[in-house]
Structure 1
Amino acid sequence: MTELGARLKEARLAKGYSIEDLQEITKIQKRYLTGIEEGNYATMPGAFYVRAFIKQYAEAVGLNGDELLETYKTDIPSPANDELSKSIPATPSRRTLGGRSSNKFMEVFPMIVAVLFVIAIIVMFWFLYQNKPGGSSESFEPKDELVIEQQPQTEQDIKDPVVEEEEPEEPVEEEVEEPEPAQQLTFVETQGETSTYDLTGAESYVVKLVATNNTWLNIRDQDNKILVDKAIVAGETFELDVASSSRVRVRIGSTPGNTVYMNDQVVEFPTDRPTQNLVIQFQK
């Protein structure tokens, strides 16, 4: 790592940027940014891009790009070193190429004509041979025919035809599935900010809160033991399995916009109070 690369990397880390963050800011590919930090300029398109990328890197991390280029100019390749166009041989002109192609075509043209002439003669002889009278007659030998002898029916066969007796089909007993008991959540009463429900026919016992607005959630069991006491932020979904309890009390600090479920069944808020208690009694 060069002194310039170490200085740029130190400034990047001081800003709290990763290579991916710097790539998003500068729109420079991260392999070029890594090459600048390691002093590996061979991976870049040319010296002009090296200087431009270094200046853009420096300004993104709060350094003076022009000052860095001047300070470390001996360590950075110069654009003059990229002038290689003079060493590239001149490309032959279209006219020269066209002339060479024309001369080569004229050399092989007689051979092409000769081959086409031979092919035409062969096709002509083949056509005459196919149309020669009696030239392509095919002889067919009679094929042996498969003869099936039919046994004559006797008078007894005609009088007493064989009739296959069909066995009676046994009736198939249809299995009748007994309907599973459906969950029922029954409203009992409301006293002040507390509403009571009875839950019957449930196979699971999961309380869920889907929060659209910020609220405070407190859940207690039948012994008034606190199971949950926390803030729920907007957009959060909270679930709690209360199968070990026989009753729960769910207290919502702010009801508007928030929904309580019992096994994916909505538990309605009977009143318009902002703070309400929902007591759910499990009839197991």
Structure 2
Amino acid sequence: MTELGSRLKEARKAKGFSIDDLQEITKIQKRYLTGIEEGNYETMPGSFYVRAFIKQYAEAVGLNGDELLEMYKTEIPTTSNEDVSKSIPQTPTRRSIGGRSSNKFMEVFPMIVVALFVIAIIVILWTLFQKSPKNEIDKTEVDTSLTLEKKPPTEENSSVKPVEEETPKEDNPSEEVVDTTEETKPEQQVTFVETQGPTSTYDLTGADKYDLKVVVANNTWLNIRDQDNKILVDKAVNAGETFEFDASALSRIRVRVGHTPGNMVYINEQLIEFPTTKTTQNLVIQFNK
């Protein structure tokens, strides 16, 4: 056991925490916590996670994680640039994205101009054709031919007066009043209820769906439970990732973020604030359907 492991273990016992308690608080697997206390870092996923787990362990038992990392840096594996680059996915820069989109637009722009020009010519020709005198002559000829085909009535037919058809009188139907007012759906509203310890509660009304999204800027452990306290998600999320979850079938969810600084939680694209400055916090969202 290393000196760092002994100090962390003593602080844990002074807090009255067992390894299982600490696992529940930090959401770090028990075998990693035991490895930290025993100085066995070979079981860790990498040196980056060694430092992150030690810091989270220290803060959970009331110690300063940054000071411990600096004090015992000779005992802890150093983080290489290669490890950091592996843990953070690379994304294209805005300049490169903008450059590709602008190049595509410049390639398509001439075709758009030609298409608009052709459409304009077709509209002009169609308008001129409708106003041409030939159409007027054709209409006159049709009217004349229809007039000549009508035969004058004979004497027999003239003596018989046509029976006028009685058109049934239509009752004036009552005017139906149509309600053209469209039903307006209430807008989504998130209301803060209370904060107790690390847990803050919100009410969500006026929504017909419940899409949860977590935008991760710093590595964290994410735990999601339903209204029956059943674990739905329990995993580590790396910086740069976006985690999404459809909670439409639930009436309540609890989102536990192991490391809140820099990380953001959204419900239906609306940001849910962390009311306190604690490192580990719970957000309980109640759906009023």
Higher helix share: 2
**Shorter-chain-normalised TM-score: which range?**
0.3 to 0.5
> Which is bigger in relative contact order (C-alpha 8 A, separation at least 6)?
2
For normalisation by structure 1, the TM-score amounts to 0.39
Q: Which has the larger radius of gyration?
A: 1
TM superposition score normalised by structure 2: 0.38
